[in-house]
Amino acid sequence: MNIVLLGYGKMGKVIEKIALSRGHNIVARIDVNNRSEFDALTAADVDAVIEFSHPLSAYENVKTCIEKGIPVVSGTTGWLEKKPELEALTLEKGSAFFWSSNYSIGVNIFFKLNKMLAKLMNPQKQYSVSTTEIHHTEKKDSPSGTAITIAEGLIENLAGKEKWINNEIPADNEVAIWSAREGRVPGTHIVKYISDIDQIEILHQAHGREGFALGAVIAAEWIADKKGVFGMDDLLAE
């Protein structure tokens, strides 16, 4: 496959390593300094774009891919208020758009486990629930997209929970996300249920970026011959 890396920071470099190890060709490595190179590419040159850039540039990056008819896999978080617009554009243009808050296979298993546990805990009103996320100090958005996905899974399955809040004491209808930025932590996510007599928690701790990068490359391989809007549930279902 011919792949463009749209965003060439630390994650982009790990994705490049994984893609090359799987026999793919990197057509271009695009960052803020050479964006014009991407503007010159067409769907004939590229099988898929993997976009890990910045919350402020992700919307235009993904939109450009959709308009060019190039399948795009995006992992940038912090811009999701505009995502429905791009999903509609994808369907209008007959293009392909794959987004996930986290491409790690382990994290996506964690998402499913989180929902299962929430269903079990729903009748147990003696427990309060919260989620914690810890990332490296270079991460631009807070809370993480992964933490938001976890909180949405809780809201979906716990009666009375209507919204999430970040780093604030929650009301009864809110799910608290506690966000921290520390050193070089690749990503830690914890869901806790606490009562007066005990505590239950599930945890996912990434040891590096390789798991995220591998999932993104697999998504690019999977989406290259498809049209539509997709996520990790679609990929894992196959």
Per-residue confidence (pLDDT) for residue 139, from 0 to 100: 83
- What are the residues whose beta carbons fall under 8 Å from the beta carbon of 204, sequence distance 6 or more? 104, 106, 107, 110, 187, 188, 189
Whether residues 180 and 157 share a domain: the answer is yes
Residue 135's DSSP bridge partners are: 181
CATH number at residue 87: 3.40.50.720
What is the pTM assigned to this prediction? Answer: 0.78
Domain that holds residue 154: 105-205
Residue 189 known to be catalytic: no
Q: Looking at 24, 68, 135, 204, which residue is catalytic?
A: 135
Place 157 in a pLDDT band, splitting at 50, 70 and 90.
Answer: very high
Whether residues 93 and 109 share a domain: the answer is no
Whether residues 10 and 76 share a domain: the answer is yes
Whether residues 142 and 198 share a domain: the answer is yes
CATH number at residue 189: 3.30.360.10
Contact 165, 147 (CB under 8 A): no
Residue 13 known to be catalytic: no
Whether 238 has a pLDDT exceeding 90, the answer reads: no
Q: Looking at 24, 68, 139, 161, which residue is catalytic?
A: 139
The whole-angstrom separation of Cα 78 and Cα 88 is 19
